[in-house]
A and B are shown apart, each in its own frame.
Chain A
Amino acid sequence: MAAIRVVKPGLLTTIQDRGRTGYGHLGVPQGGALDGYAMRWAQRLAGCAEVDAVLEITLLGPTLEVLGDTYAGLAGADLGALVNGEAWPAGTGRNLRSKDVISFTGPKEGLRAYLAFAGGVSGDLVLGSRATDIQSRVGGLAGRALRANDELEVGEGAGSPVQAPVPTLCGGERVRILPGPRHDQFPEDALPTLTATRYRVTTQSDRVGMRLEGLPVPNAAGSTISEGVPIGAIEIPPSAQPIVLLHGRGTIGGYPVIATAITADLPVLAQLRPGDALRFELVGAQEARLALEDLCGVFALPFLPAIAGESRK
Chain B
Amino acid sequence: MSPVRICARAKTPWRRALPAGDAAVLLEFGDRIAEDVNEEVQRFARTLFKAEIPGIRGIVPSYASLLVEYDPFAWAYETLLEMLASLPLTKGEGPQRRRHVIPVLYGGDAGPDLEEAAQALGLPPAELAKRHADRDYRIYCLGFSPGFPLCGVLPEELRLPRRATPRTKVPPGSVAIAGMQTGIYPLESAGGWHLIGRTPLRLFRWDQPDPVPFQPGDTLRFRVVTKEEYRTLEERVASGDTILETSASPEEAAHGGDPRR
A residues with CB within 8 A of B: 21-30, 126-127, 135-138, 178-184, 225-233, 250-253, 257, 260-263, 284-285, 288-289, 292, 296
Contacts and interface: CB of A to CB of B under 8 A. Distances in A.
B63 A230 contact: no
B57 A289 contact: no
B153 to A, nearest CB: 11
A22 B63 contact: no
Contact of B20 (A29, A184, A233): A233
14 contacts: A22-B58, A24-B57, A24-B67, A26-B212, A27-B142, A30-B58, A127-B206, A225-B63, A230-B21, A230-B23, A252-B62, A253-B144, A263-B23, A288-B21
A234 B69 CA distance: 16
A136 B146 contact: yes
Contacts of B22: 178, 260, 262-263, 285, 288-289, 292
Contacts, number: 156
B237 interface: no
A266 B70 CA distance: 16
A225 B20 contact: no
Interface in B1-44: 3-4, 18-24, 26, 31-33
B62 A27 contact: no
A227 B62 contact: yes
- Of the four ranges (under 10, 10 to 19, 20 to 34, 35 or more), the interface on chain B belongs to 35 or more
A181 B18 contact: yes
B150 interface: yes
Which has the most chain A C-beta neighbours within 10 Å: B33, B64, B141? B141
Nearest to A180: B20
A263 B71 CA distance: 10
A144 to B, nearest CB: 13
Interface string B50-64: 000000011111111
Given A136-B146, A136-B187, A261-B21, A284 B3 contact: yes
A138 B207 CA distance: 10
Contacts of A180: 20-21
B219 interface: no
A265 to B, nearest CB: 10
Contacts of A229: 20, 67
B90 to A, nearest CB: 14
B137 interface: no
A228 B27 CA distance: 10
Contacts of A230: 20-21, 23-24, 67, 69
B206 A27 contact: no
Nearest to B32: A225
A225 B32 CA distance: 7
A26 B211 contact: yes
B232 interface: no
Nearest to A179: B3
Given A27-B148, A178-B19, 19 more contacts: A22-B58, A23-B211, A25-B49, A27-B143, A30-B57, A30-B58, A136-B187, A178-B21, A178-B22, A180-B20, A226-B63, A226-B181, A227-B26, A227-B63, A228-B26, A232-B21, A251-B67, A252-B60, A260-B22
A262 B19 CA distance: 12
B219 to A, nearest CB: 18
A21 B57 CA distance: 6
Contacts of A183: 3-4
